[in-house]
Amino acid sequence: MKPLLKSLACMLSLAAFSAGSLAAAEKKDIVDTAVAAGSFKTLAAALGAAGLVDTLKGEGPFTVFAPTDEAFAKLPEGTVESLLKPENKAKLTDILTYHVVAGNVDSEAAMKLGTATALNKKAIKLEVKDGALYLNASKVTTADVKCSNGVIHIIDTVLLPPADKK
């Protein structure tokens, strides 16, 4: 079963990135890899607004669950625009750091975890359903995009962190 999951992850990776792009990704950091892919414009803008670009260009390693532009488009109308405003930087930072785990967690390791702790110290539920990895309700559509400072797993829905308990 493990070889099947690993080959499925490889096929998904290849579907989103050409072989040349995958090889180039291993030489680029997480931010540059996402920008070069072209389907993470909203994520790149959000990282800039939150002041997280330098962090994710840093040494790491980081595991980033990266929502595509289509994933951001699923949010209620006006949400992204509101989050990008300077007065909402703390909320945006909380959301974005909920998409990042310290360390290099490939899909094989992630599939064995029940939860992962994001950089914002909140738990993400991980589970395998029908052979696919899910984070809360978000599905990993492309796994194991290796970068110079970690790995990216592409997801189809923005992860929203649980509210802080008062």
In tens, the pLDDT along 12-36 reads 343 444 444 444 556 899 999 999 9
User: Three-class SS of residue 103?
Assistant: coil
The tens digit of pLDDT for each residue in 66-98 reads 999 999 999 999 999 999 999 999 999 999 999
Provide φ and ψ at 17, rounded to 5°: -130, 135
Tell me the one-letter amino acid at 138. S
Per CATH, is 2-155 categorized as 3.30.1490.20? Answer: no
pTM for the model: 0.83
Distance CA 80, CA 40 (A): 13
Contact status, residue 108 vs residue 5, Cβ threshold 8 Å: yes
Q: Name the DSSP class of 120.
A: T
Residue 100's beta-bridge partner residues? 64
